[in-house]
């Protein structure tokens, strides 16, 4: 079967060859998507995918390529570079469920990926397409995780990674990864949205392949987060899937995956999607709250300590809007305090995540309080990035030094101060006894 690129704009739907170097529709400027997979025997496919978990083949060991029939854009897999991405666990979190006030809460933790975020699921596909197109350089603008992931996959594949990041606004953990993985790293004095506009022009001019989530092949890879989740649940959909929203590529990917799984007969119904944004960077929440008609109004100066989602003009909003509406979903915006406290609660589950990921628990709690999500709901929340991505934030929270971008103090509600002690066994023993848990 040969797949195609299709314009997402319902009024256009122009079709292009799968190997055209395009990011948006030349006819109408709309976003592009890969044509859907055709799976005739859902039951046999489920068995095959399950069997591959015991295989030692590189593609089978990848939590992305194991589901390759669901990503129909390649017909030759010999050039695929995998770091064994995906394979991320579903973790029960009763304590976090109590905090949110829901019946059942399970975290799908994408921070277990090779570079510590969900970007790896998409990047292995984006890089596979770059290789197929015989590109030699790849580029992205990033709030940190995309660049870390792209640097790793491009270097593993022998391509040159060129990354653009907002100067001073990404965490050191992520910057360090990009440097270590050998990316040519440009720190631009502008915000994410401004840099994306710049990179789109430069990529075209210099023939560099763009690997932001506007790239439809990245979206194909990120679909497998939902496929793997369903596989792990024996194809029983939860009531809700909650995720953070920044540039909205993941929302687009999850919605596409869920619809396609239903159309192929892999799942009986769609879960509802809940997209959570930070208060200072919530243009999508505003659009959905207003009924979803019209265009997204960008936030000019987005601000949040959850720097991964510090985006004011999300590229994939038309796709994300379609997916939230189709699934009967919801949105919420959460404060810096809510994010910080939810993050500490996820830590206390022994799980941990980076700030943007914690927006999910904060948003779930809010949607429960507002009655949008019912008490007994079966919820999967996606933790997008690893705890160690942003240690600075954690240390400041627990020691009472975290401030909002506007300079307001954030309360260490669940703070855990380290204690300085003298080298004295008696005093230390007294202290430990007085603090017995």
357 is an interface residue for ligand F0G by CB under 6 A: yes
277 binds ligand F0G (CB under 6 A): no
In the bound complex, what is the minimum distance in angstroms from residue 234's beta carbon to ligand F0G?
Answer: 27
Q: Least separation, in Å, of the C-beta of 205 and ligand F0G?
A: 22
Binder of ligand F0G out of 144, 283, 318, 347 (CB under 6 A): 144
Q: What's the per-residue H, E or C state across the chain?
A: CCCEEEECCCCCCCEEECCCCCCECCCCCCEEEECCCCCCCHHHHHHHHHHHHHCCCHHHHCCCHHHHHHCCCCCCCCCCCCCCCCCCCEEECHHHHHHHCCCEEEEEEHHHCCCCECHHHHHHHHHHHHHHCCCCEEEEECCCHHHHHHHHHHHHHCCEEEEEEECCCCCHHHHHHHHHCCCEEEEECCCHHHHHHHHHHHHHHHCCEECCCCCHHHHHHHHHHHHHHHHHCCCCCCCEEEEECCCCHHHHHHHHHHHHHHHCCCCCCCCEEEEEEEHHHCHHHHHHHCCCCCCCCCCCCCCCCCHHHCCCCCCCHHHHHHHHHHCCCEEEEECHHHHHHHHHHHHHCCCCCCHHHHHHHHHHHHHHHCCCCCCCCEEEEEECECHHHCHHHHHHHHCCCCECCCCCECCCCCCCCCCCCCCCHHHHHHHHHHCCC
Q: Is 177 in the site for ligand F0G (CB under 6 A)?
A: no
Binding piece for ligand F0G, criterion CB under 6 A, among 79-87, 100-108, 239-247, 266-274: 239-247
The 106-125 contact track toward ligand F0G, x by CB under 6 A, reads -----------x-x------
**Selected range binding ligand F0G among 1-9, 84-92, 100-108, 350-358, rule: CB under 6 A:** 350-358
Reference 111, options 381, 395, 412, 394; nearest CA is 381
Among 61, 62, 213, 285, binds ligand F0G (CB under 6 A): 213
Does the footprint of ligand F0G cover residue 360 (CB under 6 A)?
no
Site string for ligand F0G, 286-315 (x = CB under 6 A): ----------------------xx------
User: Does 280 help bind ligand F0G (rule: CB under 6 A)?
Assistant: no
User: How far is it, in rounded angstroms, from Cα 213 to Cα 249?
Assistant: 5
Of residues 115, 129, 247, 360, which one binds ligand F0G by CB under 6 A? Answer: 247
Closest alpha carbon to 275 in 218, 356, 169: 356
Separation of alpha carbons 188 and 175, rounded Å: 13
Asked if 356 interacts with ligand F0G (CB under 6 A), we say yes
The separation between CA 351 and the C-alpha centre of its own chain, rounded to angstroms, equals 17
Residue of 146, 177, 191, 331 that binds ligand F0G (CB under 6 A): 146
Closer Cβ to ligand F0G, 88 or 250, answer by number: 250
Min separation Cβ 373 and ligand F0G, Å: 20
244, 318, 347, 352: which one binds ligand F0G (CB under 6 A): 244
Judged by CB under 6 A, how many residues of this single chain contact ligand F0G? 23
Where in 401-430 is the site for ligand F0G (CB under 6 A)?
Answer: none
Q: Which stretch binds ligand F0G (CB under 6 A): 93-101, 324-332, 353-361, 408-416?
A: 353-361
Which residues on adjacent β-strands are paired with residue 117? 385
Q: Which stretch binds ligand F0G (CB under 6 A): 91-99, 238-246, 328-336, 396-404?
A: 238-246
Tokens representing residue 5 in the block: 């690129």
Q: Contact between 382 and ligand F0G (CB under 6 A)?
A: no
**Interface with ligand F0G, residue 384, by CB under 6 A:** yes
CB of 252 vs ligand F0G, minimal distance in Å:
8
x/- map, 63-92, ligand F0G, by CB under 6 A: ------------------------------
Q: Which of 120, 228, 354, 390 binds ligand F0G (CB under 6 A)?
A: 354
Minimum distance from CB of 25 to ligand F0G (Å)?
A: 20
Q: Which is nearer to ligand F0G, 177 or 366 (CB)?
A: 177
By C-alpha distance, which of 304, 326, 301, 123 is closest to 213? 123
Q: Is 248 in the site for ligand F0G (CB under 6 A)?
A: yes
What residues make contact with ligand F0G under the rule CB under 6 A?
117, 119, 142-146, 213, 244-251, 308-309, 354, 356-357, 384-385
């Amino acid at each position: 079967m040969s797949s195609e690129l299709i314009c997402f704009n319902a009024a256009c739907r122009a079709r292009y060859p799968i190997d055209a170097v395009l990011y948006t529709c030349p006819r109408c400027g709309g976003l592009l998507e890969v044509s859907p997979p055709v799976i005739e025997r859902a039951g046999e496919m489920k068995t095959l995918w399950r069997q591959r978990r015991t295989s030692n083949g590189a593609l089978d060991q990848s939590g992305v390529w194991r589901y390759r029939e669901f990503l129909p854009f390649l017909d030759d897999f010999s050039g695929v570079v995998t770091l064994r991405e995906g394979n991320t666990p579903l973790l029960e979190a009763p304590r976090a469920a109590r905090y949110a006030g829901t019946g059942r809460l399970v975290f799908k933790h994408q921070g277990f990926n090779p570079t510590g975020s969900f970007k790896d699921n998409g990047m292995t596909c984006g890089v596979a397409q770059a290789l197929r197109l015989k590109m030699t350089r790849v580029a992205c603008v990033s709030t940190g995780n995309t660049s870390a992931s792209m640097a790793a996959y491009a270097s593993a594949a022998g391509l040159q990674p060129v990354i653009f990041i907002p100067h001073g606004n990404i965490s050191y953990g992520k910057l360090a990864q990009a440097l270590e993985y050998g990316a040519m790293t440009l720190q631009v004095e502008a915000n994410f949205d401004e840099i994306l506009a710049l990179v789109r022009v430069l990529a075209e001019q210099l023939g560099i392949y763009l690997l932001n989530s506007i790239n439809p092949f990245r979206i194909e890879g990120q679909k497998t987060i939902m496929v793997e989740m369903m596989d792990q649940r024996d194809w029983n959909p939860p009531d809700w899937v909650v995720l953070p929203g920044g540039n909205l590529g993941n929302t687009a990917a999850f919605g596409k995956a869920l619809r396609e799984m239903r159309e192929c007969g892999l799942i009986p119904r769609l879960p509802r999607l809940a997209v959570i944004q930070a208060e200072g960077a919530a243009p999508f929440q505003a659009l959905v709250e207003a009924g979803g008609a019209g265009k997204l109004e960008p936030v000019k100066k987005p601000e949040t300590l959850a720097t991964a989602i510090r985006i004011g003009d999300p590229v994939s909003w038309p796709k994300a809007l379609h997916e939230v509406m189709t699934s009967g979903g919801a949105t919420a915006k959460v404060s810096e305090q809510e994010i910080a406290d939810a993050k500490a609660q996820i830590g206390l589950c022994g799980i941990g995540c980076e700030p943007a990921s914690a927006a999910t628990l904060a948003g779930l709690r809010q949607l429960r309080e507002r009655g949008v999500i019912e008490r007994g709901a079966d919820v999967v929340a996606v933790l997008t990035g690893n705890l160690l991505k942003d240690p600075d934030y954690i240390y400041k929270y627990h020691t009472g030094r975290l401030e909002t971008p506007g300079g307001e103090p954030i309360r260490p509600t669940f703070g855990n101060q380290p204690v300085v002690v003298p080298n004295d066994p008696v005093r230390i023993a007294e202290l430990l006894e007085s603090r017995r848990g």
